[in-house]
Protein backbone atom coordinates (compact mmCIF):
# COMPACT_ATOMS: atom_id res chain seq x y z
CA UNK A 1 0.00 0.00 0.00
CA UNK A 2 0.99 3.63 -0.42
CA UNK A 3 3.68 4.46 2.14
CA UNK A 4 2.23 7.85 3.11
CA UNK A 5 -1.17 6.31 3.75
CA UNK A 6 0.41 3.47 5.68
CA UNK A 7 2.24 6.02 7.84
CA UNK A 8 -0.96 8.04 8.39
CA UNK A 9 -2.93 4.92 9.34
CA UNK A 10 -0.24 3.76 11.74
CA UNK A 11 -0.27 7.19 13.31
CA UNK A 12 -4.04 7.02 13.62
CA UNK A 13 -3.75 3.60 15.29
CA UNK A 14 -1.58 5.31 17.90
CA UNK A 15 -4.17 8.08 18.33
CA UNK A 16 -6.93 5.53 18.91
CA UNK A 17 -4.86 3.75 21.56
CA UNK A 18 -4.09 7.14 23.09
CA UNK A 19 -7.84 7.81 23.23
CA UNK A 20 -8.44 4.42 24.86
CA UNK A 21 -5.79 5.24 27.44
CA UNK A 22 -7.34 8.65 28.10
CA UNK A 23 -10.81 7.17 28.60
CA UNK A 24 -9.34 4.51 30.85
CA UNK A 25 -7.94 7.30 33.00
CA UNK A 26 -11.28 9.09 32.97
CA UNK A 27 -13.00 5.85 33.95
CA UNK A 28 -10.72 5.58 36.98
CA UNK A 29 -11.34 9.26 37.84
CA UNK A 30 -15.09 8.65 38.01
CA UNK A 31 -14.89 5.26 39.72
CA UNK A 32 -12.63 6.75 42.39
CA UNK A 33 -15.31 9.35 43.10
CA UNK A 34 -18.14 6.85 43.37
CA UNK A 35 -19.77 7.78 40.07
CA UNK A 36 -19.99 4.29 38.58
CA UNK A 37 -22.40 5.28 35.79
CA UNK A 38 -19.90 7.74 34.35
CA UNK A 39 -17.20 5.15 34.97
CA UNK A 40 -19.17 2.56 33.03
CA UNK A 41 -19.67 5.01 30.17
CA UNK A 42 -15.92 5.68 30.06
CA UNK A 43 -15.10 1.98 30.25
CA UNK A 44 -17.22 1.33 27.15
CA UNK A 45 -15.69 4.38 25.50
CA UNK A 46 -12.20 2.97 26.07
CA UNK A 47 -13.32 -0.35 24.56
CA UNK A 48 -14.73 1.48 21.53
CA UNK A 49 -11.41 3.20 20.99
CA UNK A 50 -9.63 -0.16 21.04
CA UNK A 51 -12.13 -1.38 18.44
CA UNK A 52 -11.34 1.69 16.32
CA UNK A 53 -7.64 0.92 16.57
CA UNK A 54 -8.23 -2.71 15.58
CA UNK A 55 -10.29 -1.66 12.59
CA UNK A 56 -7.27 0.30 11.35
CA UNK A 57 -4.83 -2.50 12.22
CA UNK A 58 -6.91 -5.01 10.27
CA UNK A 59 -7.15 -2.67 7.29
CA UNK A 60 -3.38 -2.21 7.13
CA UNK A 61 -2.90 -5.99 7.38
CA UNK A 62 -5.60 -6.72 4.78
CA UNK A 63 -3.87 -4.37 2.34
CA UNK A 64 -0.54 -6.08 2.81
CA UNK A 65 0.85 -3.11 4.72
CA UNK A 66 3.11 -3.01 7.74
CA UNK A 67 1.75 -2.24 11.18
CA UNK A 68 4.18 -0.01 13.06
CA UNK A 69 3.16 0.78 16.60
CA UNK A 70 4.23 4.05 18.17
CA UNK A 71 4.44 5.19 21.76
CA UNK A 72 1.26 5.89 23.70
CA UNK A 73 1.78 8.72 26.18
CA UNK A 74 0.22 8.74 29.63
CA UNK A 75 -2.85 10.98 29.65
CA UNK A 76 -3.24 13.86 32.06
CA UNK A 77 -6.22 13.03 34.25
CA UNK A 78 -6.11 15.73 36.87
CA UNK A 79 -9.63 17.13 36.60
CA UNK A 80 -11.56 19.42 38.91
CA UNK A 81 -15.08 18.24 38.23
CA UNK A 82 -17.20 15.82 36.18
CA UNK A 83 -17.92 18.71 33.83
CA UNK A 84 -14.19 19.32 33.33
CA UNK A 85 -13.73 15.63 32.45
CA UNK A 86 -16.47 15.68 29.84
CA UNK A 87 -15.29 18.96 28.39
CA UNK A 88 -11.84 17.40 27.99
CA UNK A 89 -13.43 14.34 26.35
CA UNK A 90 -15.26 16.59 23.90
CA UNK A 91 -12.12 18.58 23.11
CA UNK A 92 -10.28 15.32 22.59
CA UNK A 93 -12.91 14.07 20.14
CA UNK A 94 -12.76 17.35 18.22
CA UNK A 95 -9.00 16.92 17.88
CA UNK A 96 -9.48 13.35 16.66
CA UNK A 97 -12.02 14.54 14.10
CA UNK A 98 -9.36 16.87 12.69
CA UNK A 99 -6.88 13.99 12.50
CA UNK A 100 -9.41 11.70 10.81
CA UNK A 101 -10.25 14.39 8.28
CA UNK A 102 -6.58 14.71 7.41
CA UNK A 103 -6.23 10.99 6.77
CA UNK A 104 -9.36 11.11 4.62
CA UNK A 105 -7.96 14.06 2.65
CA UNK A 106 -4.74 12.12 2.07
CA UNK A 107 -6.65 9.04 0.88
CA UNK A 108 -8.56 11.29 -1.52
CA UNK A 109 -5.43 13.01 -2.80
CA UNK A 110 -3.84 9.60 -3.42
CA UNK A 111 -6.97 8.16 -5.09
CA UNK A 112 -6.90 5.32 -2.57
CA UNK A 113 -10.56 4.31 -2.72
CA UNK A 114 -10.50 1.53 -0.11
CA UNK A 115 -8.82 3.91 2.37
CA UNK A 116 -11.46 6.53 1.54
CA UNK A 117 -14.25 4.07 2.31
CA UNK A 118 -12.58 3.15 5.59
CA UNK A 119 -12.10 6.77 6.56
CA UNK A 120 -15.71 7.61 5.66
CA UNK A 121 -16.72 5.22 8.43
CA UNK A 122 -14.49 7.12 10.83
CA UNK A 123 -15.80 10.49 9.64
CA UNK A 124 -19.36 9.37 10.43
CA UNK A 125 -18.25 7.86 13.74
CA UNK A 126 -16.71 11.17 14.79
CA UNK A 127 -20.06 12.90 14.33
CA UNK A 128 -21.47 10.45 16.90
CA UNK A 129 -18.48 10.75 19.19
CA UNK A 130 -18.68 14.54 19.34
CA UNK A 131 -22.45 14.47 19.76
CA UNK A 132 -22.32 12.00 22.66
CA UNK A 133 -19.53 13.72 24.58
CA UNK A 134 -21.07 17.13 23.84
CA UNK A 135 -24.49 16.15 25.17
CA UNK A 136 -23.10 14.87 28.44
CA UNK A 137 -20.85 17.93 28.81
CA UNK A 138 -23.89 20.18 28.22
CA UNK A 139 -25.97 18.27 30.75
CA UNK A 140 -23.22 18.61 33.33
CA UNK A 141 -23.08 22.35 32.60
CA UNK A 142 -26.84 22.52 33.28
CA UNK A 143 -26.38 20.48 36.45
CA UNK A 144 -23.78 22.90 37.80
CA UNK A 145 -23.02 22.02 41.42
CA UNK A 146 -26.24 20.07 41.91
CA UNK A 147 -25.20 16.69 43.33
CA UNK A 148 -28.68 15.29 42.76
CA UNK A 149 -28.63 16.21 39.06
CA UNK A 150 -25.18 14.64 38.67
CA UNK A 151 -26.38 11.47 40.39
CA UNK A 152 -29.42 11.26 38.09
CA UNK A 153 -27.13 11.54 35.09
CA UNK A 154 -24.81 8.92 36.61
CA UNK A 155 -27.75 6.54 36.82
CA UNK A 156 -28.65 7.14 33.19
CA UNK A 157 -25.10 6.61 31.93
CA UNK A 158 -24.95 3.32 33.83
CA UNK A 159 -27.46 2.00 31.28
CA UNK A 160 -25.16 2.50 28.30
CA UNK A 161 -24.86 -0.69 26.29
CA UNK A 162 -21.89 -1.65 24.09
CA UNK A 163 -22.40 -0.05 20.69
CA UNK A 164 -24.46 2.80 22.12
CA UNK A 165 -23.26 6.33 22.68
CA UNK A 166 -25.34 7.14 25.73
CA UNK A 167 -27.52 5.58 28.37
CA UNK A 168 -30.41 4.89 26.03
CA UNK A 169 -33.47 7.05 25.89
CA UNK A 170 -33.73 10.17 27.96
FE1 LIG B 1 -11.93 6.73 17.97
FE2 LIG B 1 -13.48 8.55 20.07
O3 LIG B 1 -13.04 8.12 18.33
Give tens-digit pLDDT for 105-137. 999 999 999 999 999 999 999 999 999 999 999
CATH class of segment(s) 3-158: mainly alpha
What tens digit of pLDDT does each residue of 20-40 get? 999 999 999 999 999 999 999
- 169, pLDDT greater than 70: no
- 96, pLDDT greater than 80: yes
Enter the pTM of the model: 0.94
Please report the pLDDT score of residue 170 as a whole number. Answer: 38
Q: Which phi and psi angles does 25 have, rounded to 5°?
A: -65, -40
Residues in the chain, how many?
Answer: 170
Nearest CA to ligand 1 atom 1: 49
Average pLDDT across the chain, whole number: 95
- Tell me how far apart the alpha carbons of residues 64 and 86 are, in angstroms, rounded to a whole number: 38
Q: Could you tell me which of 33, 48, 32 has the C-alpha nearest to residue 89?
A: 48
Q: What is the dihedral of CA 38, 44, 45, 49, to 10 degrees?
A: 160
Work out the angle at residue 126's Cα, subtended by the Cα atoms of residues 119 and 104, and round it to the nearest 5 degrees.
25
- Tell me how far apart the alpha carbons of residues 27 and 50 are, in angstroms, rounded to a whole number: 15
Q: Which residues line ligand 1 (CB under 6 A)?
A: 16, 19, 49, 52, 93, 96, 129
The domain limits of the chain are 3-158
Amino acid sequence: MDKDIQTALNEQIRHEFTAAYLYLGMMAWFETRSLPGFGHWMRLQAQEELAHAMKLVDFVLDRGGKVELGDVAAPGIDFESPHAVMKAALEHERRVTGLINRVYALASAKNDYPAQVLMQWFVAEQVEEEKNAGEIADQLAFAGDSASAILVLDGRLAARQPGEGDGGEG
